[in-house]
Structure 1
Amino acid sequence: MPVPNLRAIAIGAVALAALPALSLPAQAETASEAAFQAVLQDPGNLDKNVTYAKALIDEGDVEGAIAVLERLVLLYPDRAELHVTLGQLYQRIGSDAAAAQAYDAALTAPTTTPQVKAQAEDLRKRALDKASASHLTGSLFAGMQYQTNANAGPDSEHIFGTGDLVERPNEDRPKDDFSGVLGFNLNHTWDFGRQDGMALESRLTGFSQLYAQNTELDTVRAAGSVGLGFAPLPGDGGFFRLQPRANFEAASTNGEWLEGGGGPGIGATFVFNDTFSLDLDYDAIYRDYDHVGGLGETQDYTGFEHQGIVTLTWLARPGTTIIGSIGGRAAGTEKDFLDYKGLQASVGAYQTYASPLSFLPYDWLAGLAVGYEARWYDSPDPSVDDDISRQDDIFQFDAVNTIPLSESWSVTQQVQYLLDDSNLRNYSYDNLTVAMSARWRF
């Protein structure tokens, strides 16, 4: 089993010894310290130790709670529920093999009830699946969506042409449309069983979108990455993980090859505690575009795009998650007027809540998110205006609700509003999307 951190070992050893000199009253600053003082007064008291472990968990010190539970299962080996709780804590820090051993102990404990036994058997199976060298997870989804401006047509009836206002071409007017969406997400990990946690991590996503009227927008796209994830500082408790990777992607539109490309990337994850983590990502993608007449001079977009982003994930309280990100990107293409640099930021809040329907027992999930991106283009487009370079302010608002039907199946409803406010009316547009999809996870 993984070795608890030094603080946890010290706490366990002190509690076990219960030295009189350390049992003097002390001013506790946190709930865990207050509970620790209570344990010092009565080290063998089960309820006080459980209260202490819960306080450590609430404060994000899962490894400290594991040390407490490890001591309790030695003192109370017949208490199956303690072994189950210990296994669940090990799974929270990614130690699935240790969790499976704890569930084994729960199954053989004299006081195991049929309910606890069934729970331990189910959790043990899941832990063993995760502990295997090869691990595949993913989902399949299908749905429908309606867009008020599926082709991103300019809002203005008059647009610029070589510096003068001209009537917007009829084919460029905003067009609403329905579309069907079908896609998948696959994630595979091959664990090499090393102390630094090195694993071959692969990701593949794909989707197709078919429109009822604007068939020239029909799209099939696939993208993915392959990389070696590892902990540069083994023994840090899972605090820092690094993943250099190779990215790849391909897309077609209306049956014509649109683009293909790839490039290097790197990601770093910092897990500060059980409630707060930080992700840093950088990717450089080269895309080679073919000419697709229905979409214009698409080959001009060939070139590199660089993107870096910082993402913060905070479990503000049980059931409430806040995700924020900030980043930037730069695109270089065949044409200077298509090159741009941009800054982007987003924040989202996601909340689980009790199902209002008795026949659907799983908690539902609702989320609200807002994003902003500013883009500055390098030079004017002579076909639009010789003197003014394009600048866009892009706003996006999302509302989503997910209804779990079972552990594997769910239904999602989503509303999204996108506003591109450009200094050139040729590129200003908005689009409202309403979508519903069903997803199967495995």
Structure 2
Amino acid sequence: MAPAITLAAETELSAANTGFMLICSALVMLMTPGLAFFYGGMVRVKSTLNMLMMSFISLGIVTILWVLYGFSMAFGTDSGSIIGWSSDYVGFTGIGTADLWDGYTIPVYVFAVFQLMFAIITPALISGALADRVKFTAWALFTALWATVVYFPVAHWVWGAGGWAFELGVIDFAGGTAVHINAGAAALGVILVIGKRIGFKKDPMRPHSLPLVMLGAGLLWFGWFGFNAGSWLGNDDGVGALMFVNTQIATAAAMLAWLIYEKIRHGAFTTLGAASGAVAGLVAITPAGGAVDPLGAIAVGAVAGLLCAMAVGLKYRFGYDDSLDVIGVHLVGGVLGSLLIGLFASGKGQSEVKGLFYGGGLDQFWKQCAGVFAVLAYSLVVSAILAFLLDKTIGMRVSEDDEVAGIDQAEHAETAYDFSGAGGGAARTAPATAPVAAAASKKVDA
């Protein structure tokens, strides 16, 4: 994501690029409701609304934090290659409508709102690992704290001018490290603290609505074009178009690879596998799509689809309860996509950097390793500490009774589906007509 690669400086606003970026921002915003549906369909009926709300609340909390200080921390003037800060960005008080993002033809406001959508969806991704068992108040507070001490600094490391990963030359076009590895490592850190769901590995915990899962996956796939192609911050030189094409290619390859593995391993092609494979491909191509060519995108997608399908079963082997496979898909997919840049970078996309298979040696691979494992370690440790502190103060988990009975009713006083009128319809709810009443009267008389 820009400003990792700086285009030639322009002094005039481009209406085309501005409009393009506003559309991309709206597409990325749509991904959070899409994620809510994707996760919501994967849980049991009694947790559906809670899963939806754990994503939706991020739209509220992170938006306000981003305006107050988050944008300043992520993209303000660098301090020690660790964090940014610019008083003009605090509350957006010093941003004028005509101010352009440095080196680009879009307003600062447009860049800020596009980046906001990334900040919103990243903590929402974590929620899938915690399904069925976390207090909503604790989750909301965790979201605010995690965005402040993890996401905003990491975004500066990776994308902010002066951030250490930015200066090192780590390539992350649209969020392999800052979004997916960050969220996946955080998910692992939290679940190691809060423990397993009641009945994990004993009770069936199947998705309650696979159509809802497929709807969510479709919305994610659609919105991801804005997520990825928009990260070049314009459409002047074809790099954004390359990213758009590679997004489609890698996603398709990953979905097919996942389904093939699933058929060989389990004997069936499942809709859940198709949806999960597509998301794995989207995750993996996110950091790499501007650096690889279309054949490289097929390789990235296929590797991610296969290895992520294998990785989701690790939770049963090692005993960590990653409810909706955030670690298996987002952490593993993000690591793969980021590291494969060091092998498949073609030198003909966002930069002239080449990977091992294109004659570039292992220099870029080691840079990618540095970015990947630094973000993974930082997010894992800090997220676990945050979860531990919240658990010891306000408590992270709902009571055992509430978890068994259903977190929707306990935390939200609602249920996703009202079955009280099942089978009703007009014939049961409408007043009886004269012929119906007459027939009923004759039956009684008889």
TM-score category of the 2 structures, normalised to the smaller one: under 0.3
- Taking structure 2 as the reference length, the TM-score comes to 0.20
Higher RCO structure (Cα 8 Å, ≥6 apart): 2
Structure number having the greater strand percentage: 1
Structure number having the greater helix percentage: 2
